[in-house]
Amino acid sequence: MLDVERLSRTFGGVYANRDVSLTVADGELRGVIGPNGAGKSTLFTMISGHLHAQSGRITLDGQHIDRLPPHRRAQLGVAIVFQGARLFPGMSVLANVAVGATSRTRAGAVSAALRLPRHRREEREIFADAHEALARVGLSEWADRDAEQLPLGQQRRLQLARALTASPKLLLLDEPASGLRANERRELSHLIRELHRDGMTIMLIEHDVSMVTSLADRITVLDLGEVIADGTPDEIRRDPRVIAAYLGKDAAA
Ligand SMILES: Nc1ncnc2c1ncn2[C@@H]1O[C@H](COP(=O)(O)OP(=O)(O)OP(=O)(O)O)[C@@H](O)[C@H]1O
């Protein structure tokens, strides 16, 4: 489904990603781990198109997408939840999800301003999609609440709902669990596992190694912008390079 070949990107002459290659199978849940500054977010934003790679190639279902802008990649099924993504302040939970969905409408601004039938139909579809996505993440009963009033765990699920309105083929989650309490983490893990079971292809950046090893089919480990290991959670746990670079002595014990 996703082929990343020798992707590179530098900032100020320093490699944030250097010849990063990986292949993600259809329906796979791929964990991406590595120390701070390893290049994980850089990799995700190059896949989503928000950051340009300086070299390398990205192929989604056989189609080269590396020259496409982010909205075209989104139309092809790539959705990203950014690290620390913000909510729209002063808006309800439902409106926050619906705003995410409006970027995909076809009717355009003129038709929206004139409230032409096509626009009204799209608006209905958007809100139907938003309701469905909220149900999917278990937030239906909070639809009319002010989004900012939600506890952090629910805010993260809201971000996920926003991404789901696009019915993505490939969902990129950049540290969705950071800052969450243990019970919120468990709920989010459960939700990610369900999406995976439903067949969605997911890439997940996560610092909590036990969370990522319990969820992922395979894990890619980055260090200083390079892939230092790629394998099943068991293989990763045993890999001496990973233990040395990332997991530390505790994990090796
Ligand atoms: N927009 C930018 N401008 C300059 N340097 C950047 C930029 N984005 C990333 N970098 C640098 O690229 C390297 C990789 O950063 P990146 O955010 O991809 O790492 P990460 O593995 O996601 O880190 P973290 O776990 O802390 O989120 C770091 O050295 C970072 O400082």
CATH code: domain of residue 213: 3.40.50.300
| Same structural domain, 54 and 175 | yes
Separation in Å, CA 198 to CA 17, 27, 28, 216: 31, 8, 11, 14
The Å distance, Cα 16 to ligand 1 centre, comes to: 6
For atom 30 of ligand 1, the residue with the nearest CA is: 37
Percent of the chain at pLDDT > 70 equals 89
Q: Locate the ligand 1 atom nearest the alpha carbon of residue 225 and give its number.
A: 14
Report the mean per-residue pLDDT for the chain: 89
Percent of the chain at pLDDT > 90 equals 74
Q: Locate the ligand 1 atom nearest the alpha carbon of residue 39 and give its number.
A: 18
* Higher local confidence (pLDDT), 55 or 245: 55
* pLDDT (average), residues 167-176: 95
Q: Look at residue 181 and tell me whether its pLDDT is greater than 50.
A: yes
Looking at the domain assignment, is residue 85 inside a domain? no
Model confidence at 84, in pLDDT bands (50, 70, 90)?
Answer: confident
| Same structural domain, 98 and 198 | no
The Å distance, Cα 65 to ligand 1 centre, comes to: 22
| Same structural domain, 52 and 13 | yes
Regarding the beta carbon of 41 and ligand 1, being less than 6 Å apart is answered yes
Q: Look at residue 102 and tell me whether its pLDDT is greater than 90.
A: no
Boundary-marking domain end, from 167, 192, 211: 167
Q: Look at residue 140 and tell me whether its pLDDT is greater than 60.
A: yes
Regarding the beta carbon of 39 and ligand 1, being less than 6 Å apart is answered yes
The Å distance, Cα 39 to ligand 1 centre, comes to: 6
Regarding the beta carbon of 36 and ligand 1, being less than 6 Å apart is answered yes
Regarding the beta carbon of 16 and ligand 1, being less than 6 Å apart is answered yes
Boundary-marking domain end, from 132, 167, 202: 167
Looking at the domain assignment, is residue 82 inside a domain? no
Regarding the beta carbon of 35 and ligand 1, being less than 6 Å apart is answered no
Cβ burial of 53 (10 Å; 0-12, 13-18, 19+) is buried
Model confidence at 126, in pLDDT bands (50, 70, 90)?
Answer: confident
- pLDDT attached to residue 88: 86
Ordered alpha helix ranges (H), the chain: 40-48, 70-75, 93-102, 108-113, 117-136, 152-164, 182-197, 209-215, 233-238, 240-242, 248-252
Segments forming the whole domain that contains residue 100? 90-167
| Same structural domain, 173 and 247 | yes
* pLDDT (average), residues 76-91: 89
Q: Look at residue 164 and tell me whether its pLDDT is greater than 90.
A: yes
Looking at the domain assignment, is residue 84 inside a domain? no
If one counts the domains in the chain, the total is 2
Q: Look at residue 86 and tell me whether its pLDDT is greater than 90.
A: no
Sign of CA dihedral 100, 104, 107, 108: positive
Boundary-marking domain end, from 167, 188, 211: 167
* pLDDT (average), residues 236-245: 87
The Å distance, Cα 47 to ligand 1 centre, comes to: 15
| Same structural domain, 186 and 67 | yes
- pLDDT attached to residue 199: 94
Regarding the beta carbon of 34 and ligand 1, being less than 6 Å apart is answered yes
| Same structural domain, 148 and 200 | no
ipTM comes to 0.95
pLDDT digits (tens, 9 = 90+) for 211-226: 999 999 999 999 999 9
- pLDDT attached to residue 243: 86
